[in-house]
Structure 1
């Protein structure tokens, strides 16, 4: 009796998923929050060594330990936290004056690991914030960047900061007093869809928990 040859069925290989070396994700566990608090402490110590009059931000590590989930987020480089911040999806920025028109994403308490605060990290954070705001339906990203404390703050420090971020698309709206009485420079950035960002950065920060209900 003749038999038909058996067909060999080959399953096509699954397409390779490119590995994004950076990840932005919410800090959900106590260990992640403790790591963020330690990062902030290290950065504050580094700032204090460079300028003894720096800040009045000793309370910030506790903010990361106590921030309601999932407002605290971390930027990771191959599993290592290199930056952390607190997201405010519906900030009260009336103290900003006439520049505050409409909703925005406010980045609070942005701290990078000492040795990781260069232009490449700033550029990555800028792109992520613009893309995340756009996907959230928000027109602007805002940030209050902490200035060196005291009246002896040299103007060139502020000028350097503004020049640094202007190249990334941020616009300075001048200096002011922050929500906790700290001296800050106010910056904002238009939201922007950047589809190619996923090649470099994988984001798991949820959008739904920041959408407006109005």
Structure 2
């Protein structure tokens, strides 16, 4: 039996759906008076024809339910908060109202980091400044059902705050029954 979910690189046939998903999320944030949409700008940029070809899409059947980018080059803040190599999730977006998408993306990232020989997955979320409400809600969601940890909070250049978060990489061998992953595997000890 085929797993209910699939992870694969966004290609030309799914790029438009991915852009629509991110725009839908931006509208949802605006409709709920949340300002977290600015965090999705890197993902929108990656989904342009000239953008990053490493955007990973998450599908339930044929429906796109989420997408993310993971950066192989760690930013300076990462060295302070999570020493050593790690897979850095730079932007992620799920279907509004579906909390299970964040968990699915977390599981995928943990296994991807493990397969690359990396000990951690990390991300940063703005929790003060223009994205306060959306960022704080996302941090709570990542801590409770997804089991991320807040390492520290640091100031931004624009008088905001960033929550620096991490979660251990893990083999998650049973994930194949739940998620069919066709994203090419990185070599070991090389950021994904």
TM-score, L = length of structure 1: 0.74
- Give the distance between the partners of 2:52 and 2:5, measured in 1 at CA: 24
Counterpart position of 2:163: 185
What is the SS of the residue equivalent to 1:56? Answer: helix
Q: Which runs of no fewer than 5 residues in structure 1 stay unpaired? A: 1-17
**Correspondence for 1:23:** 6
Q: Which ranges in structure 2 are unaligned for 5 or more consecutive residues?
A: none
Instruction: Map 1:64-143 onto structure 2 (within 5 A).
Output: 64-65=47-48, 66-69=50-53, 71-89=54-72, 91-96=73-78, 98-116=80-98, 118=99, 120-143=100-123
1:150 aligns with 2:130: yes
Aligned twin of 2:18: 36
Matched, 1:204 2:182: yes
CA RMSD of aligned residues (A): 3.0
User: Larger Cα Rg: Structure 1 or Structure 2?
Assistant: 1
Q: Deviation of residue 52 (structure 1)? A: 5.5
Matched-pair contact (CA < 8 Å) for 2:116–2:190: no
Retained in 1: the 8 A contact 2:115–2:188? no
Q: Structure 2 length as normaliser, TM-score? A: 0.82
C-alpha separation between the residues in 2 aligned to 1:81 and 1:94? 32
- Tell me, yes or no, if the aligned pair for 1:53 and 1:148 is still in contact at 8 Å: no
Seen in structure 2, the aligned counterparts of structure 1 residues 59 and 170 have a Cα distance that, compared at 3 Å, is closer
CA distance, structure 2, for counterparts of residue 111 and residue 48 of structure 1: 15
